[in-house]
Amino acid sequence: MKKKEKTKKKQAMPEFHFKEFTPEEGSIYEEAVNKYREAVASGKTLRQAYESYAISDKELATLIQADFLKIMIAERHFAQRQPLEDVAKALGVSPNLVKDTYARMLQEVGVTSANHFGQQFGSMEPKTND
């Protein structure tokens, strides 16, 4: 009897595109993050913090809000060693949102590191076809 060969599909690395901000967008970003940080520090939930500072460009607002959640996870989970469930509770969001964002953060770091390595050292493919 022949055994069927198991073929594994090579998983492609996810694509991440990081936005380059214009000076105006950079100013809005900095101000929004500072306002969100103040709101959270005063005990507001993440949603309340987002509602406390309006950004007219909805696409930019979505990007800044997603980044702010990542900032909160980085500061609270990585720097302060708070469990992800505690971070979610403190921000008034679902643990799944925090866990999914955390997983995306790790993916982004991995892909960015791999891309950086590739740029620095080139492909790891052998140069011969022996």
Provide the percentage of residues in the chain whose pLDDT is more than 70: 78
What would the mean pLDDT of 28-36 be, rounded to a whole number? 97
Buried b (16+ CB within 10 A) or exposed e, 59-93: ebbebbbeebbeebbeebbeeeebebeebbebbeb
Confidence of residue 111 (pLDDT cuts 50, 70, 90): confident
Confidence of residue 19 (pLDDT cuts 50, 70, 90): confident
What average pLDDT is seen over the chain? 85
Q: Where are the alpha helices (DSSP H) in 21-94?
A: 23-41, 46-51, 58-73, 84-91
Which pLDDT tens digit goes with each residue over 61-101?
999 999 999 999 999 999 999 999 999 999 999 999 999 99
Q: Tally the residues of the chain.
A: 130
